Amino acid sequence: MRHQLSLEIPLVYNDRLLQVVDSSIYTSALPIDCARIEVTVPGYVSPVAITVTRDFSRFLNSCDLGLQTLDCDTQTLPLPDGIYVVRYSVSPNDQVFVEYNHLRMTQAWNRYYTQLTDLTLGSCEPEEDVKEQLRQFQLVRSFLEAAKAKVEYGHEPHKGMELFVYAQRLLERVGTCKAKSL
C-alpha cells in the first residue's frame, strides 16, 4: 500500500493568485509527514518550498512564490503566465512525490474575455466583419487550449509555449485590427 499523490491546479481568473489543491488518496497504513509543495515559477530554476498539510487548498501569491518581498501585506503583484512546475511530496520526499507542468494562462484568458466583450453583438445575425472576428477569437481559444494540452497532457512544454506565444500574437491582432485585415 502507498499514497497516490495528486494535485489539481484550477484556472483562477485572479491574476494575483495560483491555487493548488490536494486531490491525493492516502492510505491509513502509512504516515503523512513532511508534506510540501515546491513551485518553480516561469523563468526561474529554483523552486520555492511551501509546507502544507493533508487535503490542503492553497492560494499562492507573488510573496509566497518569492517574486515580491516588499509590501506583501498591502498589495501583491500579478503572477506571470507561463509554465509553473509544481511538485508535491511527503516523507520520504525524494521517493514519494508527484510533479506537474502547469501552463498558467490567467492574463491571456482575462485579455481574451475583455476583448470579446468589446465586440458589438446583438440578438440577431452579426455583420460579416463581426463574424470574422468571432472566428478569429475561436482560433485564439483553440490555440490556447492546444498549448495547455501540449504542456500538461502531451509533456511537450516547449511546443506548448510556442503555441501559447502564437495564441497571444493572434489575440493581439484580433484586438487591434479590423477583421478584414486579419
The model's pLDDT over 25-49, given as tens digits with 9 standing for 90+, comes to 999 999 899 999 999 999 999 999 9
Which cell goes with 21?
489543491
pLDDT(178) > 60? no
State residue 182's pLDDT score: 44
pLDDT(110) > 90? yes
Q: What percent of the chain has pLDDT over 70?
A: 96
Residue range 42-71: mean pLDDT, rounded: 97
Q: Which residues contact 161 (CB under 8 A, 6 or more apart)?
A: 82, 83, 103, 147, 151
Q: Angle at CA 19, nearest 5°, toward 69 and 77? A: 30
H helix runs in 26-156, sequence order: 106-117, 128-152
State residue 149's pLDDT score: 98
pLDDT(128) > 70? yes
**Residue in the block written with cell 497516490:** 4
User: Do the beta carbons of residue 42 and residue 82 sit within 8 Å?
Assistant: yes
Residue range 113-117: mean pLDDT, rounded: 92
User: Per residue in 90-99, is it b (16+ CB within 10 Å) or e — as a string?
Assistant: beebeebeee
State residue 181's pLDDT score: 42
Residue 22 to residue 83: CA distance in whole angstroms: 19
State residue 101's pLDDT score: 98
pLDDT(18) > 80? yes
pLDDT(126) > 50? yes
Q: Which of 179, 182, 9, 15 is nearest to 108 (CA)?
A: 15
Which cell goes with 48?
520555492
Q: Which CATH class is domain 7-104?
A: mainly beta
Residues across the chain = 182
State residue 119's pLDDT score: 83
Specify the higher pLDDT residue, 52 or 180.
Answer: 52
pLDDT(107) > 90? yes
Q: Backbone phi, then psi, for 179, in 5-degree steps? A: -55, -35
pLDDT band for position 51 (cuts 50, 70, 90): very high
Give CATH 2.60.40 domain extents, the chain. Answer: 7-104
